[in-house]
Structure 1
Amino acid sequence: MASSTRANRTQLFQKATQIVYGPLDKNLSEESARTWTPPDNPGAGGHRGRYLWTDAFGLVNFITLSKETSSPVYLTLAKRLAETVHSMLGRTRDGSARLPLATDAEPLKGGLRIGKMDAFGSDGDGQYHHYLTLWMFSLDRLALATQEIVYHRLAVQLAKAIHPHFVIRTRQDSPPARMVWKVSTDLKSVLVPSEGHLDAATGFVVYRLLQQTAEHFGDSSGVLESEIADYRELMGGSGKLHVSNDPLDLGMGLWMCHLFRDEEWARTLGDQSLDVARILLAETSSLMTRGASRRLAFREFGTCMGLRCYGTDEALEARVAAVVQFWEKFLDESTDEDLRPISLIMFASALIPGGELDAEDPTLISTSLMVD
């Protein structure tokens, strides 16, 4: 199998990343990296080449590459990607102004657009809570990887800014009642009033990571206490935290659980998710017996990534490897153009979720997406 060894995985990881972000390698000069601009063709696949989910994983993958190749140039590329996302998705679609509520001093106070191709409609642009929390995580990991606090502060700025627009209360002084899935680009209107299955739990996890990093930098301890309390209450509601049969949702749940795996809620959900993964990825399951045209690669890579983060036994790891191998031959020019960038970046994340655990400083857990 092409991706069976770490060296081969790294090679495939680099290849997938370069198809999306251009011909980059560890020999790229620092000077060139500092002036690099992420391409819009193919780019991350969204509006003007930026799509928040894909670029969030892309940023983390650059951090992983810096570890895998021992080249700091990838951290410079990660910083340039962050700057580009903020300048594109933190502004109106025509690029003429920052999003409402944002300022030059607080550029993320207006949130970040998803990067959908259409401005309006059922699949139009707006803001998703689960995309925004993933971007916060990515910025926070960049802060730890570079030891530059500015990226952490941007993540906290974004966290505090978007929270009241997704967490709904019956009165201003009442406990949180529910969350909403999608709001408008200007944060003023609810576009999808239903609640994302993992949104509260992901908020609980990511905001706590931001809090830990604040303590690591000695920067405003307790800055997100009220938001964390809201998410804790919301995720504790009856039926809120359950295993999903959707491959991407299942994988992101496992990823979320591995970050606080010693806590009872995470152990319970994580172990239940492993049971579902064994069924979902079984060689004879309805999903695994379908042809490629009836499957979505990036969603299955989410399962693979989550499993490798949380930890697999020999049988599950064999199934993860089989899924990755199945899709390798389809990740070329013939892949659906719209989904190609997200599929390639998630493929890389499934190959090497990356990251290390610093035993002396637990705030440095998961500099990338996984604890080895």
Structure 2
Amino acid sequence: MAPHPARKPPTSSRDDATRTAAALMHDFALRTGVIGNAPPQRYLWTDAFAVCNFLALGDIECAERLVEQVHAILGKHRPDDARTGWIGGMDDQTAREHPTRGGLRIGKPLPERAPDALVDAELEWERDGQYFHYLTRWMHALDQFSRCTGQADAGRWARELAQSAHRAFTYAPAPGAPMRMYWKMRIDLSAPLVASMGQHDPLDGLITDLQLRAHRPQGRVGFGPELDVELREMAAIVAGTNLATDDPLGIGGLLVDAYRVAQLLRVRPGDNPLLGLVVGAAASGLSRYLATQPFARPLAHRLAFRELGLAIGLQAVTRLWCVLERDAASLDAQPGLRKALDHLVAQVPLARKLIDTWSDVERSGDPHWRAHEDINAVMLATALVPSGYIELEASSMSSAASSSSSQL
């Protein structure tokens, strides 16, 4: 990447949420080697949110360093692996130009399962490999970085990653059968580690492809694959998928996805079935989740980053409502969508409750928080300053993806 001017120093006008988020991200950057002398420690999910947070805070320098570190570390085989070099088998010159073509490792502490080893479901969570939904988060982070900085390479890397991931993770069980997706792949994308399909992976792929396709800066050429095939195939997989979930992180993801769709649309909201599908699934899932009285459980039995994912999504609801209310007549013509949206809007105050709860825990030095400190801190920072993650820059969006999404 080309060098970028250093960020401006913070001003005294920052509100408490922004100052807290900035402090959390500064500590994360020091702790994981983005800045300072600590050896870099990269984990793809956390780093994707972190890039968006740095952008929201105006820290382009840290965002750029983090992008470079993720590619240099997670784009290569592990130090304890017999394989060496870039995952895609590229030489250094090719990898500098196309660092995401081979995908990116998760960054788990343990090496991937040996081909002849028995599956241990619990241990598999700690083993390395590639997750599709982590790759889509990184595509989103690269696209946001490209939109914010104008660096076209980052947008091309996102599209190349989308193409590589789609080829590796999607498959047809039999000739003519509906396509499906693997949950987890080997580091080199040569075979699946977990063959079952992630519930929201097809939706993540579809909306991310729409987002990448929509980002077409004027006058740019060579901006990467068009993703036409990927869009069609992802749309077909989503059509046969049940999106409803009672997992707070999954619900939050659906809410952010709904807002992303709304930002990408250039048609009346009631005319887009994908938007209604996602909003309805989020509303029903949230009802099921709240019916379990999850916040009555002791904090030690709750996971901060999953609940903070819901808080992030709930903050997208108000923005979604504002977009859809611009064409209130169209929204009112879709009573199912209107009812689901009203239900979600009523739960928006829950975001502040979750943020306050976990902010208090973070300040207390709680050992359960520290056990997952990096992901907890970064997700809390996103919940405090969500714009870098959930807002798309409208000026760089074309009508191409909007017309595609209207047909889904």
TM-score by shorter chain over 0.5: yes
Alignment CA distance shift 1:273-1:39 (3 Å): farther
Gapped regions of structure 1 (runs ≥ 5): 24-35, 67-73, 365-372
Given that residues 216 and 398 in structure 2 are in contact (C-alpha distance below 8 angstroms), is that contact kept between their aligned partners in structure 1? no
Cα deviations by residue, 1:306-355 (Å, 9 ceiling, x for unpaired): 11113277742322111111111211443433411101101111122115
State the one-letter code of the partner of 1:98: W
Alignment CA distance shift 1:39-1:249 (3 Å): farther
Q: Which has the higher helix share?
A: 2
Is 1:120 the equivalent of 2:112? Answer: yes
Cα distance in structure 1, aligned partners of 2:173 and 2:281 = 34
Cα distance in structure 2, aligned partners of 1:249 and 1:324 = 17
Is 1:224 the equivalent of 2:231? Answer: no
TM-score, normalised with respect to structure 1: 0.81
1:93 to 62, 78, 101: 78
Cα distance in structure 1, aligned partners of 2:158 and 2:208 = 10
Is 1:300 the equivalent of 2:303? Answer: no
Cα distance in structure 1, aligned partners of 2:317 and 2:255 = 6
Given that residues 205 and 256 in structure 1 are in contact (C-alpha distance below 8 angstroms), is that contact kept between their aligned partners in structure 2? yes
Which segment drifts farther, 108-117 or 324-333?
Answer: 324-333
Q: How does 1:10-159 map to 2 (within 5 A)?
A: 10-22=18-30, 37-38=34-35, 49-66=41-58, 74-94=59-79, 96-104=84-92, 105=94, 106-121=98-113, 122=124, 123-159=126-162
TM superposition shift of 1:272: 4.2
Cα deviations by residue, 1:148-187 (Å, 9 ceiling, x for unpaired): 101001111111112111001246x857521010000011
Cα deviations by residue, 1:103-149 (Å, 9 ceiling, x for unpaired): 43222211100000000342310000000011011001100100110
State the one-letter code of the partner of 1:85: V
- 2:15 alignment counterpart: 7
Give 1 or 2 for the bigger CA radius of gyration: 2
Given that residues 102 and 108 in structure 1 are in contact (C-alpha distance below 8 angstroms), is that contact kept between their aligned partners in structure 2? no
Given that residues 215 and 396 in structure 2 are in contact (C-alpha distance below 8 angstroms), is that contact kept between their aligned partners in structure 1? no
Given that residues 217 and 396 in structure 2 are in contact (C-alpha distance below 8 angstroms), is that contact kept between their aligned partners in structure 1? no
Instruction: List, as ranges, runs of 4+ consecutive aligned residues in structure 1 with deviation greater than 6 Å.
Output: none
Q: How does 1:280-359 map to 2 (within 5 A)?
A: 280-281=289-290, 285-311=292-318, 315-332=346-363, 333-336=365-368, 337-355=370-388, 356=391
Given that residues 103 and 109 in structure 1 are in contact (C-alpha distance below 8 angstroms), is that contact kept between their aligned partners in structure 2? no
Gapped regions of structure 2 (runs ≥ 5): 1-12, 114-123, 263-268, 322-343, 400-408
Alignment CA distance shift 1:149-1:359 (3 Å): closer
2:197 to 195, 198, 206: 195
- 1:32 alignment counterpart: none
- 2:282 alignment counterpart: 273
Given that residues 255 and 282 in structure 2 are in contact (C-alpha distance below 8 angstroms), is that contact kept between their aligned partners in structure 1? yes
- 2:3 alignment counterpart: none
Cα deviations by residue, 1:203-227 (Å, 9 ceiling, x for unpaired): 0000111111136564458711001
Alignment CA distance shift 1:80-1:320 (3 Å): same
TM superposition shift of 1:281: 4.8
Cα distance in structure 2, aligned partners of 1:233 and 1:217 = 32
Alignment CA distance shift 1:338-1:61 (3 Å): same
Cα distance in structure 2, aligned partners of 1:86 and 1:40 = 19
- 1:264 alignment counterpart: 273
Cα deviations by residue, 1:237-294 (Å, 9 ceiling, x for unpaired): 1xx1322100101111111111113332223321442354356358xx5211111101
SS of 1:260's partner is: helix
Cα distance in structure 2, aligned partners of 1:158 and 1:193 = 21
- 2:330 alignment counterpart: none
- 2:5 alignment counterpart: none
Cα distance in structure 2, aligned partners of 1:39 and 1:248 = 31
- 2:242 alignment counterpart: 241
- 1:30 alignment counterpart: none
**Residues paired across the two proteins, number:** 331
Query: Identity rate of aligned residues, in percent?
Result: 29
- 2:182 alignment counterpart: 180
Alignment CA distance shift 1:20-1:147 (3 Å): same
Alignment CA distance shift 1:243-1:189 (3 Å): same
Given that residues 112 and 186 in structure 2 are in contact (C-alpha distance below 8 angstroms), is that contact kept between their aligned partners in structure 1? no
CA RMSD of aligned residues (A): 2.7
Alignment CA distance shift 1:119-1:338 (3 Å): farther
SS of 1:350's partner is: helix
Cα distance in structure 1, aligned partners of 2:160 and 2:345 = 42
Cα deviations by residue, 1:77-126 (Å, 9 ceiling, x for unpaired): 11110000000000111185111344432222111000000003423100
Alignment CA distance shift 1:54-1:358 (3 Å): closer
State the one-letter code of the partner of 2:309: G
Given that residues 244 and 284 in structure 2 are in contact (C-alpha distance below 8 angstroms), is that contact kept between their aligned partners in structure 1? no
1:204 to 206, 213, 225: 206
Alignment CA distance shift 1:276-1:174 (3 Å): closer
State the one-letter code of the partner of 2:375: I
- 2:341 alignment counterpart: none
Alignment CA distance shift 1:184-1:39 (3 Å): farther
State the one-letter code of the partner of 1:296: L
- 2:252 alignment counterpart: 251
Cα distance in structure 2, aligned partners of 1:40 and 1:338 = 22
